[in-house]
Structure 1
């Protein structure tokens, strides 16, 4: 028995519209949206009365997916509002981009914030972390040829 593929990464958000807009601005496409509730989702989550909306985002190449989940019931619980990059748990979601400066400028204009600065790793990559909605850290890497 082996893994067939990684299907998606899930992120719980409070402001679904802001989260979708952020990832669309980054270049992802909205694949679909749906409300989700019922006994099966309660059992999977080990929580009674789950009622959520999900939005599935897809990378332009069609291989990467990100599930945004907005809980209506039960209310979301919150960790630190702005986690540092060295916080235990899911650290970031990384995307390879064609022009890191342009993408960072676009995201900053739409309310994102740069965690540190854009830096170059040898002659290979220009990299940075950007914090988006709900404090999600997105890593961006531009490959240098």
Structure 2
């Protein structure tokens, strides 16, 4: 497996969109509101990659994972961590999170932050296993109930 940062020469936006949509497909009908992934387009992904720090995991030429990172004042936000369903369980997500940790350290940020939907209890457990702790409950606009939780991981030196 090869990990590389998305740069200006990357042109496989349709493939990346397909990867994200396939990875997030299991959420369809399980979470409310629906995932923001369904609103992505190849063009919006290209803009997102320009505005954020994005990495790909490749198995040969096949895209098998991605992660988008956004520096914030006190942390590095992890968004759109996606692994192809047929590639899950091979340590790709863990490796992408290690890249996020390295990136945070290089930016002098001591914490990783992510959000996961309240309904996705297995994701909560996975992130907890990877060292994240629940730090907040949030509601999407228009919802009176909790729709997501925030989790953070404080990085060691």
Fold-level match, TM-score > 0.5? no
Larger Rg: 1
Structure with the bigger percentage of strand: 1
TM-score, length basis structure 1:
0.31
TM-score, length basis structure 2:
0.29
Structure with the bigger percentage of helix: 2
Greater RCO, CA 8 A, separation 6+:
1
